[in-house]
């Protein structure tokens, strides 16, 4: 992927990984548009990055996605890259029984959101000389965290969907790239995660991702070193061992 000279939409760009990638790509010479549900958070990011734009989007709302895609293409006809970063991660007590609402919201945000937005934008992207769809899965797509089953499942689905989308679009101008983060210092699970020494510093993660994007592997997967034990657990026969270790640490 050429990491400069693009018009890039980053969902969930108001904080965390989304904001970090948006700012890095903005500095690299791209027109970046961030989206999210919190207008105040988006405004803070664009104020700190002159030239960056923002649009409000409720990624859980199918109708909002359709209208948003139309508005985005109208305002930014050169749009050629979308990064599906918006996501939520919440613990679920399956034995307790009160988890269905969280599960449904997680799937709507993490899985249906990217699928719906891709469906709305793909006709436009296919007309571009060079375009890309970037999904953000997780190391938990390959070895799940038991306390966040729907999140882990949604990211496993994103991985499978990305593989299938890549195969279907291989003869087109649209590249499909999957970014699989490890445990990173963001507030995805709350403020404590942002300062957890066990998590990968966000600055380091972003720098490594940007370096890998410049020479995206043939697999189409961006896997930082800290995520490789999870990503290749099955290939290395380590799923059971890593699952036990992971869930002992975070259980």
114 vs 98: CA distance, rounded Å:
26
95 vs 87: CA distance, rounded Å:
24
109 vs 58: CA distance, rounded Å:
9
Which CATH number goes with the domain that contains 173? 3.40.50.720
Report yes or no on 228 lying in a domain.
Answer: yes
Report yes or no on 2 lying in a domain.
Answer: no
* Confidence (pLDDT) at 165: 98
Report yes or no on 169 lying in a domain.
Answer: yes
Range of the domain at 152: 7-250
* Confidence (pLDDT) at 62: 92
User: pLDDT per residue over 57-79, tens digit each?
Assistant: 999 999 999 999 999 999 999 99
Residue 251 pLDDT > 70, yes or no? no
> Distance from CA of residue 82 to its chain's centroid?
10
Query: Which of these, 140, 130, 160, lies nearest to 242 by C-alpha position?
Result: 140
Which of 152-166, 191-205, 213-227 is predicted least confidently?
Answer: 213-227
The pair phi, psi for residue 244, each rounded to 5°, is -65, -45
Find the helix or strand (DSSP H, E) in which 86 lies. none
Annotated catalytic residues are 151
Please give the DSSP secondary-structure letter assigned to residue 187. S
176 vs 142: CA distance, rounded Å:
19
User: pLDDT per residue over 96-129, tens digit each?
Assistant: 988 999 999 999 999 999 999 999 999 999 999 9
Total-model pTM? 0.96
**What is the length of the chain?**
251
Report yes or no on 194 lying in a domain.
Answer: yes
207 vs 202: CA distance, rounded Å:
9
Report yes or no on 1 lying in a domain.
Answer: no
Report yes or no on 208 lying in a domain.
Answer: yes
The torsion angle over the Cα atoms of residues 42, 46, 49 and 53, rounded to 10 degrees, is 110
Q: Show the tokens assigned to 176.
A: 């499909």
Total domains in the fold of the chain: 1
Residue that is written with structure tokens 């963001």 in the block: 186
Helix (H, G, I), strand (E, B) or coil at 53: strand
Residue that is written with structure tokens 């027109």 in the block: 31
Residue that is written with structure tokens 């690299």 in the block: 28
């Amino acid at each position: 992927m050429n990491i400069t000279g693009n018009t890039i939409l980053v969902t969930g760009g108001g904080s965390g990984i989304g904001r970090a990638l948006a700012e890095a790509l903005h500095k690299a010479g791209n027109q970046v548009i961030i989206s999210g549900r919190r207008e105040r958070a988006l405004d803070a990011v664009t104020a700190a990055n002159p030239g960056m734009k923002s649009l409000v989007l409720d990624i859980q709302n199918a109708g909002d996605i359709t209208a948003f895609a139309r508005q985005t293409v109208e305002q930014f006809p050169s749009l050629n890259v979308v990064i599906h970063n918006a996501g939520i991660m919440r613990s679920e007590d399956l034995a307790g029984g009160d988890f269905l609402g969280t599960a449904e919201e997680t799937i709507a945000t993490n899985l249906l959101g990217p699928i719906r937005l891709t469906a709305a934008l793909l006709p436009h992207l296919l007309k571009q000389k060079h375009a890309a769809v970037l999904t953000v899965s997780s190391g938990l797509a390959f070895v799940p965290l038991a306390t966040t089953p729907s999140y882990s499942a949604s990211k496993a689905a994103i991985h499978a969907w990305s593989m299938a989308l890549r195969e279907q679009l291989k003869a087109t101008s649209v590249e499909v790239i999957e970014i699989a983060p490890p445990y990173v210092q963001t507030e995805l699970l709350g403020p404590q995660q942002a300062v957890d020494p066990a998590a990968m510093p966000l600055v380091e993660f972003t720098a490594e991702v940007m370096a890998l994007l410049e020479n995206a592997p043939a697999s189409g997967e961006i896997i930082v070193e800290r995520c490789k034990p999870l990503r290749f657990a099955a290939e290395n026969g380590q799923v059971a061992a890593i699952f036990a270790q992971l869930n002992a640490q975070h259980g």
